[in-house]
Amino acid sequence: MQRRHQKIIEETPSPAVDGELRERMGQCAVELAQAAGYVGAGTVEFLLEEGAFFLLEMNTRLQVEHPVTEAVTGYDLVEWQLRIACGEPLPRRQKEVRFSGHAIEVRLCAEDEDFTPHTGTIRKFLPPLPGEGRVGGSGGPLRFDHSIYEGLNVSPYYDSMLGKLISHAPTRAQALTQLTAALDDLQVLGLPTNRRFLAACLRHPVFAGGEALIPFLAEHGDELRRDLQDEKIGYVPEAAVAALLPRGSASALASPFERPLRVRHRDAVLDVPLREADGVAASQAAVVQVATGEWHVQVGAVDLFVSDASFEPPESAGTGGGSSEVRAPFNGKVIAVQATAGASVKKGDILLVIESMKLEHALAAPRDATVQSVHVEAGQQVATARVLLTLAAIE
């Protein structure tokens, strides 16, 4: 499964490839390497359509997804690569290679469900435990390749991938169950990640049935995003309690009566009445403060960002901000400015293009308007929330 031509979920063995087809693909890969006189680790990629396969490319290196191969074979491909570079022969012949079970890998990225990369500081990190730990399940191996730690600053200068989580189990169904449970259990707070989106993909009946093709996210992405947003809205009250109730027991509230709160989640503002008894919920959630008046909260397997809108005037709180300013959604480099001061733009027109983490993101006009002023130019580095341009209503 891939987004923006980059894979985010990989597995082996493929549900679409049987033993005979794998043998033919493998032979073609060997012949290609021999014809080129290639020595070293490499990956030959094919596209498969209705039983016929076609050469896509050869990557003359290990791929990001090499851990799934290591899981089902038990071999350390990095060690093999180094030994070959030192002139040693391969330690196994092809006929000695045996596959065991099923392995699935997901790429944990610092991006939201719209695939927009985000920068920031990781303020809380709690990895899932394998086997009979928090993720439960059959006790099969769980591998987490990462360099995440609390206090890590995620910059805009590199790929958005934070780590790779790999499950290995006797069957595909068991591997899926173990990996989704691990994603549910994982805590990475301080900036958005695709943790919950990955779990939703794995649980989707098309993927779970082994029928996902390249256009899976193009066909089902909007549905997944809607479901995730609906899920988050349902947890806003609990997140608000966890973020805004003073830490500690319910006795922290002096009055037994309801305390009205107004909480913003994205562009929605919700009224949340707070009671003393809600203090129990506050102790069952993970909370970090990411800015003044804004928190990242994980309640169970669901995480969301909430801010305190209690002291905002109701008329402004209900407009979702209503700002005429277009701000940078993340740190990045402005690579194109298509808007000019005084120009009229239609909703959806591209105003600027920002590059972050090796990806380009076009920012569109949120409504019909006139460009009042432009505050940046191509080549300029901008920080999150930096004002890029100002729009004025059409008179």
pLDDT at 66: 95
Distance (Å) of CA 140 to CA 134, 172, 302 = 13, 12, 24
Helices (H), the chain: 19-36, 66-73, 77-85, 172-185, 195-203, 205-208, 216-244, 279-282, 314-317
Phi-psi region of 300 (alpha: psi -120 to 50; beta: other; left: phi over 0): left
Residue 47 CA to residue 167 CA, distance in Å, equals 25
CATH level 3 topology of 325-392: OB fold (Dihydrolipoamide Acetyltransferase, E2P) (2.40.50)
Work out the end-to-end distance of the chain between its first and last CA atoms, rounded to an integer number of angstroms.
47
CATH code at 2-214: 3.30.470.20
pLDDT one digit per residue (tens) for the chain, 395 residues? 998 888 999 999 999 999 999 999 999 999 999 999 999 999 999 999 988 999 999 999 999 999 999 999 999 999 999 999 999 999 999 899 999 999 999 999 999 888 888 889 999 999 997 654 444 344 467 999 999 999 999 988 888 899 999 999 999 999 999 999 999 999 999 999 999 999 999 999 999 999 999 999 999 999 999 999 999 999 998 898 888 875 544 445 555 666 678 888 887 788 887 765 555 555 689 999 998 889 999 999 999 999 888 876 654 443 333 447 888 877 788 999 999 999 999 989 999 999 887 778 889 998 899 999 999 999 998 877 788 999 998 76
Tell me if 2-214 shares its fold with 325-392. Answer: no
**308-312 CB contacts, 8 Å cutoff, 24+ apart:** 308/243, 308/244, 308/261, 308/262, 308/263, 308/264, 309/262, 309/263, 309/264, 309/269, 310/260, 310/261, 310/262, 310/263, 312/262, 312/269
3-state helix, strand, coil in the chain (%, to 5): 25, 35, 40
What are the residues facing 265 on neighbouring strands? 268
- The CA–CA distances, whole Å, from 100 to 70, 172, 315 equal 10, 11, 61
Q: Where are the domains of the chain?
A: 2-214, 240-317, 325-392
Report pLDDT digits (tens) over 29-46. 999 999 999 999 999 999
pLDDT, position 170: 95
Beta pairing, strands 52-59 & 142-146 = unpaired
Output the CA torsion 83→85→89→90 (10° steps): 60
Q: Between vectors from CA 295 to CA 115 and to CA 155, what angle results, nearest 5°?
A: 45
pLDDT on residue 155: 86
Tokens of 304: 């969301």
Q: Phi, psi at residue 391, to the nearest 5°?
A: -110, 150
Rounded to whole angstroms, the Cα distance separating 114 from 296 reads: 18
pTM score, whole prediction: 0.82
